[in-house]
Amino acid sequence: MTALLEVEGLTIRLPGPQGPVTIVEDVDFAVQEGQVFGIAGESGSGKTMTALALLRLLPPRAQLTGRIVFKGRDLVPLGSGALREVRGQQISMVFQDPMTSLHPMLSIGRILTDVYRTHSGAGKRDARQRAVEMLEAVRIPDPQSALDSFPHQFSGGMRQRIAIAAALICGPELLIADEPTTALDVTVQAGVIALLDQLREDTGMSVILITHDLGVMSSTADELTVMYAGRIVESGTTRRVLQEPRHPYTSGLLGALPHPERTDQPLVPIPGSPPAAHELPSGCAFNPRCGLAVDSCRVERPALVTLSDGRAACPVAVAPAAVKAGQ
């Protein structure tokens, strides 16, 4: 089976005061049809930049290398005309901040019908009908009058639903949802996630779900990739990654997560904070925060190794005995 999306060696550099800074490095992953593919990691790990690269929406001075193969076609060399056809229609995105994707001066009707008409060539009346259907699908009450309202007239949770409607109106095959629930309170969060899952089931689209919330991941994502400092450190089925993490960073994220059944256990945050992209430590980027780090971790950057049940970039956690024997 060929994947819907195959990303190979994705590397993003941005200009910095002392020369280009590598923000995302050598990222490889594949998303299958109908799959929810999760990307997790702390703030600054490169999740949004990776997502923006897939739609070729990086800042203008960014350098992008690698391959982004969508339905057999590499998107990296495409020109702006061909990209416009891909964006919205085949791949669309719910942005991290719904206020930035919903233009404050445009009515919800304009936001939804403009994108639909551009891509489908539909007339005004048909586009409005389609917009009403989309608002119904994301459970906005009274869709007809919502079309004549403006983004600020809705709550954060409703704006996020409208952003999802705008992303789905052209029937994309791949939806990228970047922290779709982070700004929302817990009950609204659950509703938005359930809605995404339902829409995926109804349409058969694939979803790349970006969130640092591993609780949301565990209930939604089929596969999970964990990023740290711009690189993938672990990937596998969500169940395996969360139950038997193979990288100390993933274990650290899990240790910091509140557990409803084990309220007596203290939460253990990962010490320190992630490094800035222009000052990565030598060796493994996680080594200054890692309880398992040995001398070699400070020298050599571990490769992302393919295991029987996923990938991990930590020879110490994956095979401590082998590493010790080699020392």
Ligand X SMILES: Nc1ncnc2c1ncn2[C@@H]1O[C@H](COP(=O)(O)OP(=O)(O)OP(=O)(O)O)[C@@H](O)[C@H]1O
Binding site for ligand X (CB under 6 A): 14, 23, 41, 43-49, 59, 96, 212, 277
- In three-state form (DSSP H/G/I as H, E/B as E, the rest C), the secondary structure along 60-124 is CCCEEEEEEEECCEECCCCCHHHHHHHECCCEEEECCCHHHHCCCCCCHHHHHHHHHHHHHCCCH
Nearer to ligand X, 45 or 225 (CB): 45
Q: How far is the CB of 80 from ligand X (least distance, A)?
A: 20
- Selected from 22, 35, 45, 48, the binder of Mg ion by CB under 5 A is 48
CA distances from 179 to 38, 98, 160, 216, 325 (A): 11, 10, 10, 10, 42
Q: Cβ of residue 51: shortest distance to Mg ion, in angstroms?
A: 8
Q: Which amino acid is at 40?
A: A
- Judged by beta carbon distances under 5 to 8 A according to partner kind, the member of Mg ion, ligand X, none in contact with residue 238 is none
Q: Which is nearer to Mg ion, 48 or 189 (CB)?
A: 48
3-state helix, strand, coil in the chain (%, to 5): 40, 20, 40
- Check binding of 50 to Mg ion (CB under 5 A): no
CB 189, CB 216: distance < 8 Å: yes
Contacted entry of ligand X, Mg ion, none for residue 46, CB cut-off 5 to 8 Å set by kind: ligand X
Q: How far is the CB of 141 from ligand X (least distance, A)?
A: 30
Shortest distance, position 137 Cβ to ligand X, whole Å: 27
Count of Cβ atoms closer than 10 Å to residue 85 Cβ:
11
Concatenating the DSSP letter of every residue in 186-240 gives HHHHHHHHHHHHHHHHHH--EEEEE-S-HHHHHHH-SEEEEEETTEEEEEEEHHH
Least separation in angstroms between CB 230 and Mg ion: 12
Nearer to Mg ion, 47 or 128 (CB): 47
Inter-residue contact 277 to 229 (CB < 8 Å): yes
Nearer to ligand X, 162 or 277 (CB): 277
Nearer to ligand X, 38 or 41 (CB): 41
Q: Which is nearer to ligand X, 242 or 280 (CB)?
A: 280
Q: In the bound complex, what is the minimum distance in angstroms from residue 180's beta carbon to Mg ion? A: 11
Q: Which does 45 bind (CB under 5 to 8 A by kind): ligand X, Mg ion, none?
A: ligand X
Residue 64 binds what, of Mg ion, ligand X, none (CB under 5 to 8 Å, by partner type)?
none
Do residues 230 and 253 make contact, with C-beta atoms less than 8 angstroms apart? no
For Mg ion, the binding residues (CB under 5 A) are 47-48
